[in-house]
Structure 1
Amino acid sequence: MLDDWHVMVVVLIFALIFGAKKLPEIGSGIGKGIKNFKESLKDEEKTPNSEDTKIIEDKTHSKD
């Protein structure tokens, strides 16, 4: 979908706007944000939320 030259144009625009010295900081911040987002998704899958627990409890009590 994105060719190499698309990526290069975007990087060039960011370099012109923010300066070449800020690009590594911006990239690092974006990377950390994506990592935290993925970790929170994994944690959410591992621990059921209260609504899921309530539905499971209601189903087990209705079978009695």
Structure 2
Amino acid sequence: MNRLTALPLFGFFTVFGLVYVFGGFSGVPFADRAGGFVLGLLTILAMVAGFAFAKGYRGDGDEDGSA
């Protein structure tokens, strides 16, 4: 996924998750469930992105085959 697609998409998901957390979807059943789903999705994506970012700077030597 390129940056022109990813940044606005994740920005939308972040705002949607914040609205859910602060109770903006109270009384709207589908939006409430969708907000919880998006918040969970953001949590998983944040963990995966953090792991991928950290792996690049860990210096294990996995990329070139050296130990």
Higher relative CO (Cα under 8 Å, sequence separation at least 6) belongs to 2
Larger Rg: 1
